[in-house]
């Protein structure tokens, strides 16, 4: 294998696939990046057997071939190379790559390309397409509710549900829940539900660009899911198990309705949170709601905050405790400013929605006093 490339194109390929590189030394070849020439393109691939990423960059191919280069050394040497024409050549006898630049060269010991397990390409099963920017927004507004460190695998993923022309994503850790729905471009085969590791969703969101002309294709065969856009493909294992029936926990009745400006409420909660250290995952704030007024109170040995916000209310008075962190986590992902909040009582879930928009919902369980 031999080709010439720019430093920029090599770094783009490395940065795209790097999060799929295994950091465990059990299978040494998985700590490398697989390179394969294809016409005038260089294919980059990496996998840790849970997630796999592949992409391509333009190069000038002199001789076809493939090789696996240790990711750490490859990335670090390329970052330190000058911005000049780079010549890569693979020596099959010594199983090493030589990189020539200006009047210098460097050599890296490698693995043979045949040793790499590859990144799957899903051809069968369900397929849908969606706008990448819309999909990234869905991940942002729901993924934070999952818990990647939860010993219960089901809560480390987000539900991806295709139903008719609607695509719904749901994240929960059993204390809070976020639901976001969007319209799909198309749907083939039957409706389906899969649970995708949130780690994989965040990774494809990082890679995707916000080009309105791009299309994200999602495929699933029931065991894996793939996300493809332009020359990038991410394949992930699915989480096994049954996702909680999220529709069942969303209450239909409420005791109190309030409307408020998200920004104003968020800033007040941020101030109140300063004096409440997080203990056991909870930073407790009290909301006292009555007569078009929201009173936010926090109190600790470090100090106190007592603020009043003018809001619109319908219904009876209510005093309720919330985990401030869980409120702020949600507010930071919301791309709207007018909040519609329904509460069923001091121990019932609170529902946060954008005003006059049913496509998003955030449910938060209150804390016990």
Q: Is residue 25 domain-resident?
A: yes
Same domain, 282 and 349: yes
What's 84's domain CATH number? 3.10.150.10
| pLDDT, tens only, 61-80 | 999 999 999 999 999 999 99
Give the pLDDT mean for 294-314.
93
* pLDDT surpassing 60 at residue 188: no
Same domain, 341 and 319: yes
- Spatial strand order in the sheet of 176-183: 192-197, 157-163, 166-172, 176-183, 360-364, 350-354, 338-343, 256-261, 312-315
Same domain, 43 and 91: yes
Could you tell me the two tokens for 39? 């016409």
Under 8 Å between Cβ of 365 and 175: yes
Same domain, 243 and 274: no
Q: Is residue 120 domain-resident?
A: no
- Residue recorded with tokens 């949170």: 273
| Cα–Cα separations (whole angstroms), residue 323 to 153, 225, 354 | 24, 34, 20
| Cα–Cα separations (whole angstroms), residue 242 to 21, 194, 239, 284 | 29, 9, 9, 32
| Cα–Cα separations (whole angstroms), residue 281 to 264, 266, 324, 329 | 24, 19, 10, 13
Q: Which domain holds residue 277?
A: 251-364
Give the pLDDT mean for 211-228.
89
| Cα–Cα separations (whole angstroms), residue 59 to 13, 43, 75, 362 | 11, 10, 17, 46
* pLDDT surpassing 60 at residue 271: yes
Give the pLDDT mean for 34-62.
97
pLDDT at 308: 97
Backbone angles phi, psi at 321, to 5 degrees: -105, 140
Q: Is residue 369 domain-resident?
A: no
Same domain, 87 and 194: no
Same domain, 161 and 108: no
pLDDT at 22: 92
Q: Is residue 11 domain-resident?
A: yes
Same domain, 336 and 234: no
Same domain, 233 and 139: yes
Q: At what angle do helices 132-142 and 198-207 cross, to 10 degrees?
A: 140
């Amino acid at each position: 294998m031999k080709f010439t490339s720019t430093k920029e194109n090599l770094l783009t390929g490395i940065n795209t696939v790097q999060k799929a590189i295994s950091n465990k030394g059990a299978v040494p070849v998985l700590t490398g990046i697989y390179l394969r020439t294809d016409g005038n393109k260089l294919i980059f691939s990496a996998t840790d057997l849970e997630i796999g990423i592949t992409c391509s960059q333009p190069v000038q191919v002199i001789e076809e071939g493939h090789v696996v280069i240790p990711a750490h050394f490859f990335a670090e040497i390329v970052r330190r190379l000058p911005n000049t024409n780079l010549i890569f050549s693979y020596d099959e006898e010594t199983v090493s790559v030589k990189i020539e630049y200006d009047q210098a060269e460097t050599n890296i010991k490698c693995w043979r390309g045949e040793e790499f397990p590859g990144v799957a390409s899903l051809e069968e099963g369900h397929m849908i397409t969606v706008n990448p920017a819309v999909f990234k927004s869905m991940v942002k507004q729901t993924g934070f509710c999952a818990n990647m460190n939860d010993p219960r695998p089901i809560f480390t993923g987000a539900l991806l549900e295709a139903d008719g022309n609607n695509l719904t994503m749901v994240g929960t850790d059993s204390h809070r829940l976020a639901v976001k729905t969007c319209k799909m471009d198309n749907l083939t085969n039957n409706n389906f539900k899969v649970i995708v590791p949130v780690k994989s969703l965040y990774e494809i969101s990082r890679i995707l660009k916000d080009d309105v002309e791009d299309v994200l294709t999602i495929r699933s065969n029931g065991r894996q899911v793939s996300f493809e856009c332009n020359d990038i493909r991410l394949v992930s294992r699915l989480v096994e198990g049954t996702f909680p029936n999220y529709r069942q926990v969303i209450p239909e009745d409420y005791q109190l309705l309030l409307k408020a400006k998200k920004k104003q409420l968020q800033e007040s909660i941020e101030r109140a949170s300063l004096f409440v250290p997080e203990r056991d995952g909870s930073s407790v704030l009290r909301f006292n709601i009555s007569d078009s007024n929201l009173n936010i109170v926090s109190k600790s040995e470090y100090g106190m905050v007592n603020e009043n916000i003018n809001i619109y209310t319908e219904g009876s008075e209510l005093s309720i405790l919330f985990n401030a962190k869980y409120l702020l986590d949600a507010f930071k992902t919301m791309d709207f400013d007018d909040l519609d909040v329904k509460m069923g009582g001091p121990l019932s879930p609170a529902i946060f929605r954008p005003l006059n928009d049913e496509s998003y919902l955030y449910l938060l369980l209150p804390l016990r006093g």
